[in-house]
Structure 1
Amino acid sequence: MDMEEAGPADAALAAARSAFARLVSVVDGGGLDHLDDAGLLGFWQQLEELRNQLPVVEHRLIRDAQARDLASVYCTGRLSRLMTSMLRISGGEAARRVRAADQLGDRTSMLGEPVPPVRPALAAAQRAGEVNPEQVDIICRGLARVDRVGYDPATIAAGEASLTGHARAFGPADLQTCVNRFVDTLEPDGSRPEEELQADRRMVELRQLRDGSWRGELRLTGAAGAKLQAVLGPLAKPRISTGVTAAGRPVEELDPRTYPQRMHDALEDACDRLLRSGSLPDSGGTPATVIVTLKVNDLINRTGCGTTSDGTRLSTAAVLRLAEQAEVIPAVLNDAGAVLALGRAKRIATKEQTLALYARDGGCSFPGCGQRPEWCERHHIIAWADDGPTDLTNLTLVCRYHHHQFWSRGWTCRINDDGLPEWTPPRHVDRHQRPLINQRILTAHGGYGTAA
Structure 2
Amino acid sequence: MNSTAAVLGRVVSDLDGSIESAVRSSGLDGMSDAEKLEVLRLAGEAQRRLDALVTETVACVDGRPTVSGVPTFPAVFGCRNMNELLQRVLRVDASGASRVGKAAEAVNRNAEITTGARLPARWPGLREALLDGVVGIAGLLAAIDPIDRTRGRIDGQDRLRADAALADCARGIDDTVADPGGADAETDAAEARRAEAGPAATPDDLRQYAQLIATYLDPDGSAPSEAQAAVNRSLTFGRLRDGVYPIRGALLPEVYAQLKLIIDAQTNPRTTGPADLGVAFTDSDSRTSADGAGSIDSAGTLAGSGSAGVGADMGDALPGGCGSPEDPFNSDPRAVIDSRTRPQKQHDALATALSIAARHDDMPSLGGAAPTLVVQVEASDFAHGTGWAHIAGADAPVPVSVAAHTVCEGMIQRVLFDEGRIVGITTTDRLFNAYQRRAITLRDKECIIPGCHVPASWCEIHHVEEHSRGGPTHTDNGVPLCYWHHRTIDISGWQIRMVDGKPQIRGPAWWDPEQKWRTPRPLLPEWVGG
Normalised to the residue count of structure 1, the TM-score between the two structures is 0.48
The structure richer in strand per residue is: 1
Higher-RCO chain (CA-CA 8 Å, sequence separation at least 6): 2
